[in-house]
Amino acid sequence: MKYNKLTITIILSIFILPLMAVSAEKSIDKLKFPPLNKQEMPQIEKIVLDNGITLYLLEDHELPIINAVARFGAGEYLSPSDKIGLAAITGKVMRTGGTEKMKGDDIDAALEAVGATIEVSIGNTSGTTRMNVLSEYVDTGLELMADILRRPIFDPDKIDLEKTTQRSSISRRNDEAIDICIREFRKIVYGSNSPYARHTEYATVDNITRDDLIDFHKKYITPENVMIAFWGDFKKDEMIAKAKNLFGDWPKGSGKVAKLPDVSYEFKPGVHYVQKDNINQSKILLGHIGGYTGDPDYFAMVVMNNILGGSFGSRLFNEVRSKRGLAYGVGGNYTSNIAYPGFYYNYCFTKSESTVVAVEGIIGEIKKMQIIPPSIEEMRIGKDGYLNSFVFNFEDKGDIITRMMEYDYFGFPNDFLFTVKENIEKVTPQDVMDVAKKRLHPEALQIVVVGKGDDFAKPLATLGAVDTIDATIPTGEAKPEMGASPDAAAKGMELLKLAAKAVGGVEKLSKVNSLQNKGKMNLVTPGGEFTLDITATTVFPDKSKDILVTPMGEMITVINGNSGWMKQGQNVGPIPDAQLKESQKEFFRNIILILRTADNPSYEVGLLGIEQLDGKPANIIAVVSKDDQTSFKLALDVQTNLPVGVLYFGETGAGPANITEIFSDYRDIDGLKIAFAKKVESDGQKLADVAITECLINPEIPEGFFDMPE
């Protein structure tokens, strides 16, 4: 699972810091250590090319390795609101989608052959391309890196693959309660439409096209927005020559990217609740907007934060967790950014019953921070938390040089870290008190709770008026266009009637009360393809029973009107609500039901036009339910009018996606034409093939056939 920085900080506080606390019981404070060596900045040379690219160079011959990082000022904040995810997908497919000279898979092979790596990623505010290569293969690595940066071709197949990955990530985003908590907290602090808080949805991913990626790259990833750092086993003059040769003729673009957007924030209290009934402990974040790294009181904020909630000896840890036993994990942080404000948060994981009491305990400690001065020991802890780790800022040459690029981009002095260290050493208890009064707002905290409210010992409303957040993931299904033009509606209805006639006629279709198909399903999974025996029985209008024979035994899925059940082995239980709803949509898409009631007033139809389906032209008809706005597209062969496919947004093993079912191999059964073959695809990727071996119309259905076993 991918974790963000806030999640990692919280995990470290829960699992690592308590172990450190045990070790601290030994009198390590009595040990004497010599002073640390003075840290000095290495000599990094900077050169600006004629096209605007800034080069940073640092020789380091300790290992036969050369590293490079290109920083470009192209972030997700530049993506349109209806195409969130564009920047991230652009970055990924720059790397995987190949270049004008080499396919993406060939780049993988070339890098693997020399033990090198190149990765591209684009985040909210900027992007990076990273290269690591043995010095003897530096020319190969640099040429590939330059091609990836300058000349990506954005292979459509790799775009589809990355969009599928994005959809899969969206489908899992509510699995962990803490992820929900962090996501909703950010939206409350920055605003749901802020680029610092917004996130991808199925619809925004679906809106992204190859042309969008090409335009994003052309507009934003240009020399005047690029800085490149090199460090490792090279001679400076030789590396400068290589860089000029590969990047010096890169034409300038349309100019500097737009500056990061401002944040508007109003301090006010709020209590926000997300219901999650499958957990027995609450995940809680409470806080408000934070500050800038360049704030004059940044240094006192660092010390104050460490005293309040930033370490195992903090006030929150000692009082809420250790003394009162109200939390499994508790802490906090006052975050700061260079170009936009960070946010202040306290987190708490507690059993459901103590949710409100734990929040009250945290608020109490925040208030005490403003009126009770820190002790000598607290000041030592507050400063040492930063000063003792200061040396690690210079442990890795890559961290040093990339930090310098960041400072240069935003106009910070290169020695800013030394300024921070010197000023933290000067912070006094009064400074801590003053900054707590200025920066902390216990009366205006935004509180986000994810948990099972029925188990709270005290009602959440004790803390204030409760705003209930619906964190349900939008399906991404496009809202259907109701009210087709009279001409489109008439043509669509005419084609439906022709399709009914082509299949066998409305009279024969109306006599179909049930249908049973037996056959083979070839299922495509990440682990390979599997062929399963399947028996699918449908009783119109709303009952079905599917039996799959797998290597692990039978799997039975039953839909019985507004309920359903599943059985695997000896395990029997109700079908999940989401699967029940999806199965009910399948009835709406059933070809026999649609064609035998072509003039049904409960839905509308409209001809959309002719499109290619599986390499052949087809009339595409939109079919829209008036009752619940469910919709799909029906494809009819332009010559025979037989149904050749349905297109819709539905569930796949990797999450919701655009699905296409393609019908073929029509055979005559009792005067009706039935498709004996079906291919299922998702965004061009095959999911399954179904081959029917036997089709029975109106088979005998035993009594209790759909009843759930006791």
pLDDT score of 12:
46
pLDDT score of 22:
43
Q: What is the 3-state secondary structure (H, E, C) of 415-464?
A: CHHHHHHHHHHHCCHHHHHHHHHHHCCHHHCEEEEEECHHHCCCCHHHHC
- Count CB neighbours of 488 within 10 A: 17
| pTM over cut 0.85 | no
Q: Answer whether residue 587 shows pLDDT above 50.
A: yes
Quick one: CA dihedral 332, 288, 271, 367, positive or negative? positive
Q: Kindly report, residue by residue over 516-534, the tens digit of the pLDDT.
A: 999 999 988 767 788 999 9
pLDDT score of 532:
92
Residue 549 phi, psi dihedral angles, 5° rounding: -100, 110
The CATH class for the domain spanning 45-175+192-247 reads alpha beta
* Token output for 312: 């195992």
pLDDT bin (cut points 50, 70, 90) of residue 4 is: low
pLDDT bin (cut points 50, 70, 90) of residue 24 is: very low
pLDDT bin (cut points 50, 70, 90) of residue 301 is: very high
Q: Kindly report, residue by residue over 59-99, the tens digit of the pLDDT.
A: 999 999 999 999 999 999 999 999 999 999 999 999 999 99
Q: Which of 370-374, 484-488, 636-640 has the lowest mean pLDDT?
A: 484-488
pLDDT score of 654:
65
CA distances from 378 to 381, 431, 464 (A): 5, 13, 32
For the chain, give every domain's residue range.
45-175+192-247, 262-392+411-468, 486-697
CA 524, CA 652: separation in Å to the nearest integer? 11
User: Given strand 270-275, what is the order of strands in its sheet?
Assistant: 329-334, 343-351, 281-289, 446-451, 270-275, 466-468
pLDDT score of 668:
95
Question: CB of 634 within 8 A of CB of 643?
Answer: yes
Architecture of domain 262-392+411-468: 2-Layer Sandwich (3.30)
Q: Kindly report, residue by residue over 245-296, the tens digit of the pLDDT.
A: 999 999 999 899 999 999 999 999 999 999 998 899 999 999 999 999 999 9
% of the chain residues with pLDDT over 90: 71
CA 195, CA 206: separation in Å to the nearest integer? 19
Mean pLDDT of the chain: 89
**Two domains, one topology: 45-175+192-247 and 262-392+411-468:** yes
Contacts of 586 (CB under 8 A, 6+ apart): 544
Residue 39 phi, psi dihedral angles, 5° rounding: -90, 135
Question: CB of 683 within 8 A of CB of 160?
Answer: yes
Instruction: Report the CATH number of the 486-697 domain.
Output: 2.50.20.10
* Token output for 480: 């259907």
> 510: helix, coil or strand?
helix
**Among 149, 182, 237, 241, residue whose Cα is nearest residue 3:** 182
Contacts of 126 (CB under 8 A, 6+ apart): 71, 72, 73, 74, 75, 409
Instruction: Give residue for tokens 């043509």.
Output: 491
Q: Kindly report, residue by residue over 533-574, the tens digit of the pLDDT.
A: 999 999 999 999 999 998 778 999 999 998 999 998 888 988
Q: Answer whether residue 35 shows pLDDT above 80.
A: no
User: Which whole number is the average pLDDT over 675-702?
Assistant: 92
